[in-house]
Amino acid sequence: MGPQEHRVERRLAAIFAADVAGYSRLMEQNEVGTLQTLAVHREIMDGLIAEHRGRIANTAGDSVLAEFPSAVDAVKCAVEVQKALASIDQDRPEEARVRFRIGVHVGDVMVQRGDLLGDGVNIAARLESIAAPGGVCISATTHEYVRKALPLAYTDLGPQQVKNLEDPIQSYAVSRLPSAPTSLEEAAD
């Protein structure tokens, strides 16, 4: 095999996949309002991703795919995003809330022209589909990396069968502890 035209680089990364629960329904009910809320939420999310050293690799409609150099940073970011969005959404009627599901997985991904490719990306997207609206779902591998570093509530969801993957995924729902500090920064540094 000769030198490759499109060099693919491999790297370990924590993959963060987010999209809006019930996006089609929200758009059908109130297109302008939903897009406005989404823009506000995305600004908050994008800011927190950058703050946690993440890089947005892809966005499409209501979905965001980002990578982080550390699993701890990615999970901290996901939990902070959900906290921030819940706080600005609390005065909105239930049916108008724009709530993201977020999935986090650690993969040895391939990166080509900034795009993330490979199994790890698919798994992050599947974890996201398992997450509750406003929630965070992480793989067992991710859990292994963060459980000692981040004092959060981890709920074992058991093996989950997801589409397009042969083996079930072991996953955990993550949320703040009832007595959590205002910011995870204090506890995790």
Q: Which residues bind a second copy (CB under 8 A)?
A: 1, 4, 8-14, 69-73, 106-108, 119, 141, 144-146, 148-149, 186, 189
Measured from the CB of residue 11, what is the shortest distance to a second copy in angstroms?
Answer: 4
Measured from the CB of residue 117, what is the shortest distance to a second copy in angstroms?
Answer: 12
User: In terms of CB distance, is 95 or 186 closer to a second copy?
Assistant: 186
Measured from the CB of residue 19, what is the shortest distance to a second copy in angstroms?
Answer: 24
Rg (CA), the chain: 17
User: In terms of CB distance, is 37 or 139 closer to a second copy?
Assistant: 139
Residue 28 has which token pair? 């059908």
User: In terms of CB distance, is 70 or 82 closer to a second copy?
Assistant: 70
User: Which backbone phi and psi does 54 adopt, to 5 degrees?
Assistant: -85, 165
User: In terms of CB distance, is 38 or 150 closer to a second copy?
Assistant: 150
Closest-CA residue to 85 (of 101, 69, 71) = 101
Number of Cβ within 10 Å of residue 58's Cβ equals 14
3-state secondary structure 89-110: HCCCCHHHCCCEEEEEEEEEEE
